[in-house]
Structure formats: structure tokens, C-alpha cells
Amino acid sequence: MEKKDYLIRAMLGANQARVIALRTTGVVQEAQKVHGTTPVATAALGRTLTMGLVLGAMLKAEETLTIQIKGEGPLGGIVVVANSRGQVKGYVGNPEVDLPLNAAGKLAVGEAVGPGYLHVIRDMGLKEPYHGTVPLQNGEIGEDFAYYFAVSEQTPSAVMVGVLVGVDGVPLGSGGIVVQLMPDAMDDDLFISSLEERLQGMTQVSSLFAGDRSPEEIVSDVFSGLELRYLDRQEVQFHCDCSRERFERGLVALGREELQEMAAKGEPVEVICHFCNRQYAFSVDDLDKLLQELGNTRA
């Protein structure tokens, strides 16, 4: 039976920490299929997609967010967009990047990403979106987001994300666990040390989510002995909301002059969605119609 991708929220102790845990194996398999990513690119994109869903779960109803990882490594950056409904999409600059395993025998995600910055842009429907930026700590994604939470949101967090990639390049398991301390927990040394002990003894996240256990079973096992209360669950998926209409609006936004130049060439224009690689073709007639909408036809 296929294991569903979903996210759970829970509270630890006497509401002293919140936990978000999620399986994203199907999400990352879909992204790998769409973009044809190499194992190291799959791991980097998969970890960021997972974090996009975590941050998306913290949004209010119609809010959206964009994660941009602008690193100097050969991966060429990562862009991920998520919403509060458990939908995420993303791509990497260079899906074909190939690097040898790092010194620990693992996929060299940090090296592929390189030094740079993590940007989180939250669109809350206001005039100006919220924009948080922190320098990348090591490009491995998990520690970079832990640093982001600490600096931008003043929330001490443990972030564990991982993608297990098979020898054929297909993801076998992907998921994440994020633990955030609530203000009441700051003075409870016993709770904090119990929490640290369990986190340090954890199996690698990618392996945990490659197995048959549900996110609830994984969380119960990792935090055994601590009081645990589940709040809710939400299905998650790789979903691109691009459409022909959206690209039409994009062409119109280029302005009359540029559209006239395109139409004058007498050739159809093809645009490709970065997120899902879907292609949209606009004939010369289509371009003429858009020019008419702008109140101008081709000379």
C-alpha cells in the first residue's frame, strides 16, 4: 500500500514545545520526475520542499510564501513556493549538478548549494510582503532553517530534514521533524535536557521516513517518555498552479512594445513553467489578440 504524504502537528510536555513532522516522499518523487534531478539536486530540493511545507503550515488561510536559497555552489540556487493548504512546488537552477559523496559518505548538498543566503518572503496580502534573510550556515538546509528560526523569528528550533535517494536516483524516503521551544520551556532545564537527549539519539530522518511507520509512530518513538499531544494532520502534495491565463497575464505585463516585437517575428512564442516544466505555446494570432486587449494592434 502506498504511504501517504502528510504533516502532523503536536505539543510536547506541558505545551513546552511544538512539533511538526511530515512525510514528503511522494512530493520529492514527483519533483524528481518533473525536473530529472541528480541525487544531490534531489536531496537539496527535497529538503527545501519539506521546509516549504513546514513554513506553509504556519501560515494563515490565504497566505503564501517563497523560499529562495541563493548559494554560490554549482546547484545554482533553489526556489520553493508553498501555501497553507499543504501544496508546494519548486525547482533548482542546475538539476544536472553531479558531485562525489562528501567526507562522511553522504550526498554533498552543502557543497552543491555553497555559501550564500536564505530568503523567506511571506505574502500576507498586505502592500509589502514580509522578507527575512539570513546567511547560509552550511548549505545543508536543516541547520540553515534552524538559524533562520532563531534569528528571524526568535524561536529556538531543532530542524531535521532528509531525503534518501536510491541507486536509480528515485527518492526512497523523505521527511522532516521540526521542534520549537515555547517561551514557557526556556527555564525548564530538565525538559530541555530530556528533549536534547532524544534528538541526539535519533536515527537519520531520511531513513525514518523510508520505512513503513507513520509520522505519528515516528514522533511517538523519537519522543518516547515525554508527554505528547497530537493536534491535527494535513495531506501534502507537489502541486503547480500555473495556467495559460497566468502566462497570458505575464505576456501582457511585458508591455506593448515587447509584445509587438514578438508578434512581428511571425513565429509562435513558447513559454515553459520553471516549477513543473509545462509548456504553453502562443501563436501570432494569440499575440495579436493580447495586443488588441492592450488597445493596440500591430502596425
The verdict on domain 6-238 having CATH code 3.55.30.10 is: yes
**Which of these, 39, 15, 166, lies nearest to 96 by C-alpha position?**
39
The CATH classification number of 244-293 equals: 3.90.1280.10
Q: Do 136 and 144 touch, CB atoms closer than 8 A?
A: yes
Query: Which residues have a Cβ under 8 Å from the Cβ of 162 and sit 6 or more positions away?
Result: 43, 47, 142, 173, 174, 175, 176, 204, 205, 206, 207, 209
Query: In the numeric block, which cell numbers belong to residue 132?
Result: 527575512
pTM of the model: 0.92
pLDDT in tens, the chain (299 residues): 458 999 999 999 989 999 999 999 999 999 999 999 999 999 999 999 999 999 999 998 889 999 999 999 999 999 999 999 999 999 999 999 999 999 988 999 999 999 999 999 998 777 888 899 999 999 999 999 999 999 998 999 999 999 999 988 999 999 999 999 988 777 778 888 888 899 988 888 999 999 889 999 999 999 999 999 999 999 999 999 999 999 988 888 888 888 888 888 888 889 999 999 999 999 888 888 888 887 755 54
pLDDT value for 1: 45
- Residue 169 has phi, psi (to 5 degrees) of 90, -5
Domain boundaries, the chain: 6-238, 244-293
Note the pLDDT of residue 239. 97
pLDDT for the residue numbered 297: 53
pLDDT of residue 234: 97
